[in-house]
């Protein structure tokens, strides 16, 4: 994965100071109390944003140089984990045969804002999700909107065991159709890569429910849906992933992808 380097800013300075403290102590776990203290020292006004790094374009120099990323452990704790490629996945290129012009009649709310929920709503309302997931635009999946929940997860990142408790997890959208549960993450741009945990945490959450016979789930997969406007037209890219080993975050695998060019009628 090719990693882009960015100039230092206050958020990067906070992460740099925390990383150096952890490295000095040889303990790479830290908590929100330390984040708040360092953010105050540096003058960064939003300490809750410090550990949110959606793609490597936002990475500070210190993490790129040392090859670490941040994973959330729950309960206000976080950890620097070695191996950025283990925690971030590059979006695969889309074959020309999987690029489609999609004619649609735009409603007044279709592209009114650029929020993640709007992006996913457009994909669902215009039957793009139906076509991509089920090969059937008249399929009738159930849709469940954005939600937050807390859970405990035990899993591996390669050979490293991770135990997370009281972990707050966000799910942008969930669909269910004939026992197939699909978790969605949406973004209003085309980043080069993404934090795998955004898909993996919800995947493992539902896997645990399935394994414990709490829900009659037949299959679980994950979708990343991206939208970008080019020359006044919306382009939607959608990627379907699974995890070959449900207990290993690094086992992410692409099932298929496609691009839909929205053409107004």
pLDDT value of position 108: 54
Q: 16 or 121: which carries more pLDDT confidence? A: 16
Average pLDDT over the chain, rounded to an integer? 91
Residue range 145-185, pLDDT digits in tens: 888 889 999 999 999 999 999 999 989 999 999 999 999 99
pLDDT value of position 107: 64
Look at residue 121 and tell me whether its pLDDT is greater than 50. yes
Backbone angles phi, psi at 130, to 5 degrees: -60, -45
Instruction: Measure the CA–CA gap between 11 and 29, rounded to whole angstroms.
Output: 18
Instruction: Measure the CA–CA gap between 122 and 235, rounded to whole angstroms.
Output: 11
Reported confidence tier of residue 4, pLDDT bands at 50, 70, 90: very low
Instruction: Measure the CA–CA gap between 201 and 251, rounded to whole angstroms.
Output: 13
- Number of residues that make up the chain: 265
pLDDT value of position 105: 72
H, E, C per residue of the chain: CCCCCCCCCHHHHHHHHHHHHHHHHCCCEEEHHHHHHHHHHHCCCCHHHCCCCCCHHHCCHHHHHHCEEEEEEECCEEEEEECHHHHEEECCCCCHHHEEEEEECCCCCCCCCCCHHHHHHHHHHCCHHHHHHHCCCCCCCEEECCEEEEEEEEEEECCEEEEEEEEEEEECEEEEECCEEEEEEEECCCCCEEECHHHHHHHHHHHHHHHCCCCCCCEEEEEEEEEEEECCEEEEEEEEEEECCCCEHHHEEEEEEEEEEEEEC
pLDDT value of position 6: 42
Q: How many CA atoms within 13 Å lie on the side-chain side of 237?
A: 16
Look at residue 74 and tell me whether its pLDDT is greater than 70. yes
**What angle (nearest 5°) sits at the alpha carbon of residue 180, between those of residues 175 and 182?**
40
Residue range 184-209, pLDDT digits in tens: 999 989 999 999 999 999 999 999 99
pLDDT value of position 223: 97
């Amino acid at each position: 994965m090719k990693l882009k380097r960015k100039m230092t800013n206050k958020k990067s300075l906070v992460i740099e100071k925390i990383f150096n403290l952890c490295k000095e102590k040889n303990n790479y776990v830290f908590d929100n109390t330390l984040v708040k203290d360092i953010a105050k020292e540096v003058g960064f006004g939003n300490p809750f944003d410090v550990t949110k790094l959606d793609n490597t374009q936002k990475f500070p120099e210190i993490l790129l140089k040392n090859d670490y990323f941040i994973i959330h452990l729950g309960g206000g704790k976080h950890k620097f984990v070695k191996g950025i490629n283990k925690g971030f996945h590059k979006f695969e290129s889309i074959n020309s045969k999987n690029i489609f012009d999609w004619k649609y009649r735009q409603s007044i709310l279709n592209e009114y804002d650029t929020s993640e929920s709007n992006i996913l709503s457009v994909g669902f309302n215009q039957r793009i999700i139906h076509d991509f997931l089920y090969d059937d635009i008249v399929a009738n999946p159930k849709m469940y909107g954005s939600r937050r929940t807390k859970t405990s997860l035990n899993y591996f990142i390669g050979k490293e065991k991770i135990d997370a408790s009281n972990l707050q997890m966000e799910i942008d959208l969930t669909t269910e159709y004939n026992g197939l549960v699909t978790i969605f993450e949406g973004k209003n741009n085309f980043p080069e890569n993404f934090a795998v945990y955004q898909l993996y945490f919800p995947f493992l959450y539902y896997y645990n429910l399935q394994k414990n016979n709490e829900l009659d789930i037949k299959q679980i997969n994950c979708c990343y849906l991206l939208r970008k406007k080019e020359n006044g037209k919306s382009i939607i890219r959608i990627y379907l992933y699974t995890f070959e080993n449900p207990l290993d975050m690094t086992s992410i695998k692409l099932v298929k992808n496609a691009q839909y060019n929205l053409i107004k009628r």
